[in-house]
Structure 1
Amino acid sequence: MTDTVSLPPGACLIRDFVSEQAVGRLLAAIDATDWRADLKRRVQHYGWRYDYRERRVTEEMRLGPLPDWLLPAAEAVGDLPEFDRRPDQVIVNEYLPGQGISAHVDCEPCFGPAIASLSLGGEVEMVFKKRSTGERHSVILEPANLLILSGEARYDWSHEIPARKSDVIKGVRQPRTRRVSLTFRTVTL
């Protein structure tokens, strides 16, 4: 099911993009791999490393092909109409209660015209803000949801996950639990 009620133009949320079994397999593969801990949250890079400080990707940052366990999800994302090819870069982010990511627009010269983020684990609120007007939207990201940002949502709106320990979900304040996201992108050099 697709829901775009509280999303900015160019954003699309696909519920149950992967099965519960696929979520379990992905989390098992992720948790069996080493994490980088050089940010306020743990991350893993596949395909290409992204330099957060310099906000760039260079030819020297190529890590190799995506691992086999990521290919089914990457191929499914690449088949979506917003993508012109299979993503070749994936960043895995782990968010523990109290952690978030500041408002940003994914590097424009580094990555193609669509970004997709697959949620695994806990529910969390993502907030969008139009850079020119300050207009705001928000959405609750649930496990197995795929959020796609293209067009206006990709370039004209920032997105963030506020750093807090709970979110209001369906009118009730819920404590956060561990959330892992896979962000799929295409590198443009």
Structure 2
Amino acid sequence: MGLPRFKRPTGECSESSSNLYVANCGPAVGLSFDTIAFVFGTYGEVRGVYPADESGTRVIVSYHEESAAQSALKALDGHPCPELGGRSLHIRYSVQSIAKVQVNDSSVVSLEASELKIPGLYLIHDFITAKEEEELLVAVDSKPWQNLAKRRVQHYGFEFQYDIRNVNTSQFLGELPQFVSPILERLSSFQNLGYTGSVVLDQLTVNEYPPGVGLSPHIDTHSAFEEPIFSLSLAGPCVMEFRKYSTGVWPTNSESICDGEIQNSDKTSNFLRRAIYLPPRSMLLLSGEARYAWHHYIPHHKVDIVKDNIIRRASRRVSFTLRKVREGPCQCEFAAYCDSQK
């Protein structure tokens, strides 16, 4: 599925069209696409509101009729708009280019883990505050990063070795850093959602994703980590997709390894698919079937569609993945997906 892409106006006067380039307007200044569409809908039927660029402060308002765009430009350009927070908008005509922005496919994206009906999957929104988020980002940015092919990582407790997709339990890096202590103390809040397992964690991987960079479909190696697995999202949002294949997916001739994760061609396997929106400061928990039998995946997109809203990825997304290193082989009930039992 693709979104239309528009050309930015290059002069004070552009050729009249049914599309308007609107500056000082967008999510970054507190204006949702729905609100913008409602206000501009006063002048005619709006076909859609789209991000004009990655700034979040400029949008394209596309009308069905050119006359509606003319009326809106005349009424709103350069004038404070009370319905849009009193902001003065700067508007020019824009034209659609041939290219399209690629976004997630037609899969329905849920906002709550319960909607996915995946046993063992939980999500808490606003698990930390905005101030705590800022403090965590400052803390990790003061530490050295390790560069992978498309993203940067940090490891604490034990290093995840991407070449073997496992950890060396004899190489202990030390206790988890002090800056994650408030997070660990708060994990018991998942019991309010029905999770009853114990929480003892000794490994942390911090990932930094630039715009457009995601994560290939994979299950965290069974023999490397126990359950549960926690993932805290910071700085930017993303859509995470879950896939349950008809058989366990382990490296074969139809698969490749990318940054130590299994990347399936999807040409030979049938799978169930679910997707969920992970906003900044949310904490995801994978346990039971969700941890052992479902691949998780972040599409390599710069733009996602969530409940008919267009959400552009931020300049960075940072995730904290907290796990417990396993000692000995895995004895889980999901043998088809388990490297210890294959």
| TM-score scaled by length of structure 1 | 0.92
Question: Counterpart of 1:88?
Answer: 202
- 2:166 equivalent to 1:56: yes
- 2:217 equivalent to 1:103: yes
CA distance in 2, matches of 1:128, 1:3: 11
* 8 Å contact from structure 1 (residues 116, 183) kept in 2: yes
CA distance in 1, matches of 2:114, 2:140: 29
- CA deviations over 1:38-78 (Å, ceiling 9, x no partner): 34210010111011110111123311101111122123236
**Structure 1 residue 82: Cα displacement:** 5.2
Question: Counterpart of 2:242?
Answer: 128
- CA deviations over 1:18-48 (Å, ceiling 9, x no partner): 1111111111101111110034210010111
CA distance in 1, matches of 2:303, 2:117: 21
CA distance in 1, matches of 2:228, 2:160: 17
Question: What secondary structure does 2:115 align onto?
Answer: coil
In the alignment, structure 2 segments of 5+ residues that lack a partner are 1-111, 247-269, 328-342
* 8 Å contact from structure 1 (residues 43, 93) kept in 2: yes
In the alignment, structure 1 segments of 5+ residues that lack a partner are none
Question: Counterpart of 1:185?
Answer: 323
Q: Which has the larger radius of gyration?
A: 2
Deviates more, 1:105-114 or 1:5-14: 5-14
Question: Counterpart of 1:115?
Answer: 229
Question: Counterpart of 1:26?
Answer: 136
Aligned residues: 189
| CA-based RMSD | 1.8
**Structure 1 residue 173: Cα displacement:** 2.2
CA distance in 2, matches of 1:100, 1:110: 22
- CA deviations over 1:140-160 (Å, ceiling 9, x no partner): 100111110111111110001
Greater RCO (Cα-Cα under 8 Å, separation 6 or more):
1
* 8 Å contact from structure 1 (residues 51, 57) kept in 2: yes
Question: Counterpart of 2:148?
Answer: 38
CA distance in 2, matches of 1:7, 1:13: 12
Aligned with 2:126 (options 3, 9, 16)? 16
CA distance in 1, matches of 2:325, 2:120: 20
CA distance in 2, matches of 1:78, 1:58: 28
| TM-score scaled by length of structure 2 | 0.52
Question: Counterpart of 1:137?
Answer: 274
* 8 Å contact from structure 1 (residues 166, 173) kept in 2: yes
The amino acid that maps onto 2:219 is: V
